[in-house]
Amino acid sequence: MRGVVSAVILLGVLAACAPKASYWQLPPGVDFRQAEKDESECKRDAAMVDKAPWYYKGLEEYREELVQKCMKSRGYTRE
């Protein structure tokens, strides 16, 4: 019985530590299909970058920031 209680507590702690899902809020007049297209274009452009500035931890982190900036420049916000 102790093992079950410990497992439930551990799962609860891990669930609380999990990153929260974040979604793009669509700007007025933009439908879901357009949002997918915009995000795809932003990701494509970011993937073309092959080197991050020295102050970044890594290339993937830098690319993700580029996608964020691209989407925000198109009027999207994060929930």
Q: How far apart are CA 38 and CA 45, in angstroms?
A: 11
Dihedral sign for Cα atoms in the order 22, 25, 26, 31: positive
Q: Which 8-state DSSP code applies to residue 31? A: -
Question: Considering the entire predicted model, what is its pTM?
Answer: 0.69
State pLDDT tens for residues 5-54. 444 454 444 444 545 557 899 999 999 999 999 999 999 999 999 999 88
